[in-house]
Structure 1
Amino acid sequence: MIFEYIISNNPVSITNLKQEFQISSQMIHRHINNLFNEDKIYKI
């Protein structure tokens, strides 16, 4: 859900995401890290 928001509302700031999803910066960074980690798995 966060990824869809980022893709459809590019560019997006951390502040935008915090307001939209009512979550902390730390959670946003964790989601983004997960996205990149998942991406690496698929590239293997």
Structure 2
Amino acid sequence: MTEVSTHGLGGLRYDPARRARAAEWNVALALVIMVVIFEVLNRLQGG
């Protein structure tokens, strides 16, 4: 069984073995989502 440590508030658990993606992929995904949101807002505004 993997050892699970608690970090943060409320006893949330963090299991390093569960990480499927590198942190860089999470940042890239967040940037893509932001671009999509701003493009949709721009088209709704009529630009």
TM normalised by structure 2 equals 0.49
Deviation (angstroms), 1:29: 0.3
Post-superposition, which runs of at least 4 consecutive aligned residues in structure 1 deviate over 2 A? none
Matched, 1:27 2:25: yes
Q: Which runs of 5+ in 1 are unaligned?
A: 1-14
Q: CA RMSD in A?
A: 2.4
Which has more radius of gyration?
2
Query: Percent same amino acid at aligned positions?
Result: 0
* Greater fraction strand: 2
Question: TM-score if structure 1 supplies the norm length?
Answer: 0.52
Which is bigger in relative contact order (C-alpha 8 A, separation at least 6)?
A: 1
